[in-house]
Amino acid sequence: MNWGRFHMGAHSSSMTSQKHTKINQLLRRWPEGSVGTLGWLKRQGVSAKLADWYVRSGWLDRIGSGAFVRGGDKPDWTGGVYALQQQLGMALHVGARTALELQGRAHFVPLGRKHIMLISDRPERLPAWFRRHDWSVTVTHRRVTLFVSPPDESLVPMSCGRYEVLLSTPERAIMEVIHLARKNFEIEHAHELVSGLAMLRPGVVQPLLESCTSAKVKRFFLWSAEQRQHAWFTRLDLSAINLGKGRRQLYKGGQFSSKYGITVPRSAELPDV
């Protein structure tokens, strides 16, 4: 008997068994439908070389440089955002109108290809694997320094099966919508959205307004809420909110609100919500 070949064969069989044990352990920790980055795999004890072996063996699929999914898995955009937030530690969240839609707070969902807004509180760039992968949605990523120190209650986890992603609460999302609005029809739509937010929490709205860095956002948000006579508006302490000085033009044309020092849509230009 060739003992050398026997030992080599036994060693190879043992190595393969170890690889199978490790991938089984990995898959138990890997939320179905989510992306696994190479950095995360390494923290689970899987080297780049071993990850390549798992790809060749069909256990994993590669969706870009340094990004993998379970073999045969077809994750949606939330599975990618989960990896950005939980594995790469990016300071981004799902925000603005997307966050309102996901929480059932938008009046209607636009037809056509779905648009996803990701917002970062600090300078950071989406990795190439996320930017280049086809998530079957249009993704926009913006850095928005709208708040000095937003309260923890302004972000909320959304369950996506076996994992969660963070998104803006309605209180924060609507301020992001106003901040991102540039054209008149976008500002009119922001007012529509405010009109439907009768259940906002003043305990979250107040610190957000006090932390907000944009006088335009604060003024238009308060004007819009007052127009709709929301009950939570009466519970705000306006004296603690710095609205800045001087006039601001957010809406082109329209009429001037002397109370808030901002140009707003005329009543005839607004839909009857």
**Has residue 69 got a pLDDT over 70?**
yes
Higher pLDDT, 83 or 1: 83
Burial 65-84 (b: 16+ CB within 10 A, else e): ebbbbbeebebebbbbbbbb
**Has residue 14 got a pLDDT over 60?**
no
Q: DSSP 3-state helix, strand, coil percentages of the chain (rounded to 5)?
A: 45, 15, 35
Higher pLDDT, 22 or 259: 259
Q: What does the alpha-carbon distance between residue 241 and residue 207 come to, in Å, rounded to a whole number?
A: 9
pLDDT at 110: 60
Q: Are 204 and 154 in contact (CB under 8 A)?
A: yes
As a whole number of Å, the CA-based R_g of the chain is 25
Amino acid at 136: S
Q: How many helices (H) and strands (E) does the chain have?
A: 10, 11
**What is the per-residue pLDDT across 115-172, written as a single tens digit (0 to 9) for each?**
999 999 989 999 999 999 999 999 999 999 999 999 999 999 999 999 999 999 999 9
Rounded average pLDDT over 214-243: 95
Report in angstroms the alpha-carbon separations of 76 from 160, 163, 181.
10, 12, 27
**3 by DSSP, 3-state: which?**
helix
**What is the per-residue pLDDT across 171-219, written as a single tens digit (0 to 9) for each?**
999 999 999 999 999 999 999 999 999 999 999 999 999 999 999 999 9
Q: Which of 30-44, 226-240, 248-262 has the lowest mean pLDDT?
A: 248-262
Q: Which of 20-29, 166-175, 251-260 has the highest mean pLDDT?
A: 166-175
- Per-residue pLDDT band at 109 (split at 50, 70, 90): low
Higher pLDDT, 267 or 9: 267
Percent of the chain surpassing pLDDT 90: 73
pLDDT at 24: 85
Query: Mean pLDDT of all residues in the chain?
Result: 89
Residue partners of 258: CB distance under 8 A and separation at least 6: none
pLDDT at 22: 82
- Per-residue pLDDT band at 15 (split at 50, 70, 90): low
Find, among 144, 121, 145, 146, the residue nearest to 212 by Cα: 146
Rounded average pLDDT over 233-253: 91
- Per-residue pLDDT band at 56 (split at 50, 70, 90): very high
pLDDT at 5: 46
Find, among 242, 245, 153, the residue nearest to 202 by Cα: 153
Residue carrying structure tokens 């991102």: 180
Helix runs in the chain, H state only: 3-29, 38-43, 48-56, 77-82, 96-102, 128-132, 170-180, 184-195, 202-211, 215-227
The structure's pTM equals: 0.88
**Has residue 34 got a pLDDT over 70?**
yes
